[in-house]
Structures are given as structure tokens and as C-alpha cells.
């Protein structure tokens, strides 16, 4: 029997996991960050579309997929339950753009950058290697992660797609 690949959509402040040959996608990432975790041996993958760097700074923090810190924890747990090994996990990052060319440089405006910084810091603390990233700049990204081979496809308006 041929196993057809299914594309699983991850919304804003949402996370999903899957196994090969399935594909995880999130559309129109702006200042949010798409965090991909992957066990290359078991071909188990997870994608979180986070909006904010730190759940401890926000009163309303029930939605774990919304924050870099809690989303990564949930992804790891779900993936380990599916048979992934934590030591084998690697990561890829995309998003964290600054969509508007603000002249001011206060924290409110640097949210994309802060989301990327927080994601990297947490992954480093957990000893998860970041294989590649396409972050920052000032444009939106649609991403697709292929559990079969670990490719992360990045699509933008007015530019060629690329695989990281």
C-alpha cells in the first residue's frame, strides 16, 4: 500500500506533530516564529507557531503553543511519546520578521527579533542543535516541513522559494 503524505496545517499560536511521510505547514509567518523539531532517525517531527518569547511575562498564559518556552516543552513531550529520542532532536527556525519599518527601537517593535532570540536560547539550554534558520528581515513566510527528509521549504511573496 502506498502511504500518501498528508499536509497538516499549524495555525497561529498552535502546534502539531507528525511522522513521515507527513508534512507540517504554517502559512504567513510574520513576527511569529515557526519552530521545527525533528528526530531524523524515527522521522518524527513537530512544528510550533509561537507569538511571544516568554510565558512567565504574561498573565494570560494558558495557551502553551503561544510562547517559545512552553511550546518547545510540549513539542518535545509529544514527540517523545511518539517514539522520538530527546537526544536526537534537531531544530530549524523561520520567521521573526519585522513587518513594519518602525523608526523607534523599543521592545514592542522588536518582537520578531525577541521571539527568535528566545527560541534560540531555549533550544541551546536544552542542547538541541539548530541546523538552519531563515529569520529576521521584513517579509512574511509560509513554511513546509517534510518529515521524510527533514527539508524545510520557505515561500515568500515576490522571491524564489528555498529549502533550508
Q: Where does this chain bind another protein (CB under 8 A)?
A: 11-14, 27-32, 51-52, 58-60, 62-63, 66, 97, 99-104, 108, 111, 138-142, 157
Neighbours of 157 (CB within 10 A): 9
Burial 62-88 (b: 16+ CB within 10 A, else e): eebbbbbbbbbbbbbebbeeeebeeee
- Does 32 participate in catalysis according to the annotation? yes
Catalytic residue among 32, 52, 97, 154: 32
Task: Select 39 or 113, whichever has its Cβ closest to another protein.
Answer: 113
Nearest distance from residue 5's CB to another protein, in Å? 20
Task: Select 11 or 83, whichever has its Cβ closest to another protein.
Answer: 11
Nearest distance from residue 114's CB to another protein, in Å? 10
- As a 3-state breakdown, the chain gives helix, strand, coil percent values, each rounded to 5, of 25, 35, 40
Cα–Cα distance, 122 to 1 (Å, whole number): 41
Task: Select 37 or 97, whichever has its Cβ closest to another protein.
Answer: 97
Mind telling me the catalytic residues? 32
Amino acid at each position: 500500500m502506498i502511504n500518501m503524505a498528508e499536509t497538516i496545517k499549524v495555525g497561529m499560536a498552535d502546534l502539531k506533530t507528525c511522522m513521515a511521510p507527513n508534512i507540517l505547514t504554517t502559512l504567513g509567518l510574520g513576527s511569529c516564529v515557526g519552530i521545527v523539531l525533528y528526530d531524523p532517525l524515527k522521522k518524527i517531527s513537530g512544528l510550533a507557531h509561537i507569538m511571544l518569547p516568554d510565558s512567565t511575562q504574561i498573565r494570560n498564559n494558558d495557551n502553551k503553543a503561544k510562547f517559545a518556552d512552553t511550546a518547545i516543552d510540549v513539542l518535545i513531550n509529544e514527540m517523545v511519546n511518539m517514539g522520538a529520542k530527546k537526544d536526537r532532536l534537531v531544530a530549524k527556525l523561520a520567521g521573526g520578521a519585522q513587518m513594519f519599518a518602525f523608526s523607534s527601537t523599543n521592545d514592542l517593535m522588536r518582537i520578531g527579533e525577541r521571539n527568535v532570540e528566545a527560541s534560540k536560547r531555549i533550544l541551546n539550554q536544552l542542547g538541541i542543535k539548530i541546523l538552519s534558520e531563515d529569520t529576521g528581515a521584513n517579509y512574511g513566510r509560509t513554511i513546509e516541513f517534510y518529515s521524510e527528509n527533514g527539508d524545510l521549504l520557505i515561500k515568500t511573496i515576490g522571491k524564489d522559494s528555498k529549502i533550508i
